[in-house]
Amino acid sequence: MAYLVAGGGLAIVFYFSWGLTARSAYESAAYEVILSDEPFEIREYPQLLMATTEIRFAGRGNGGSFSRLFAYISGANENNQKVAMTTPVFMNAETQDQPGQMGFVVPASVATDGAPAPSDDAVELRTRVGGRFAVVRFSGQLDSSTRHAAERRLSRWMADQGFAADGDAESAGYDPPWTPGVFRRNEVLVRIN
């Protein structure tokens, strides 16, 4: 019994320590919760400035999407300015009309002062229009299978609540890649009317 209690105590300490050293160490995109029905929410997001690039899932090294954005915040920009990492990383899946996009939110203070232009032509600064979004939160790996399952759950919940989608779903990941799946925070968001 003592081992069970000690193990449980260590798990709790690990969980809270992990939270303090992982996602909570970063500025997160601001939003206001309008309605909460765990794990679903309706949120109001302000306009956000983002550094974006096309998603290229095959690229895992320096040519990868995440690497290009990370280079931008590490100083690959017109001012050689380091820009703080933020959460979440927003991702839009590829559609027939458009390639997929990955975006880092530019910290509010940098956006206010004027974000430096990217040095890499594959990275650009874009405005993410604010508005109201339906959101579902889930843990585990963020891949096409978990994303599609979350989209279906969110779609059913929205239908039950009487909300209509106004665009395609996007996903958001809040944790570094080394975060164990059970501790990950992922979301699927859909803009609503």
Q: Is 138 helix (H, G, I), strand (E, B) or coil?
A: strand
Rounded Cα distance between 54 and 57, Å, is 9
2-51 pLDDT tens trace: 666 556 555 554 555 445 445 567 899 999 999 999 999 999 999 999 99
Q: Which domains does the chain have, with CATH numbers?
A: 2-191 (3.20.80.10)
Number of helices (H) and strands (E) in the chain: give both, helices first.
4, 11
pLDDT of residue 193: 86
Q: pTM for this one?
A: 0.82
* Parts of the chain with a pLDDT under 70: 1-24, 56-63
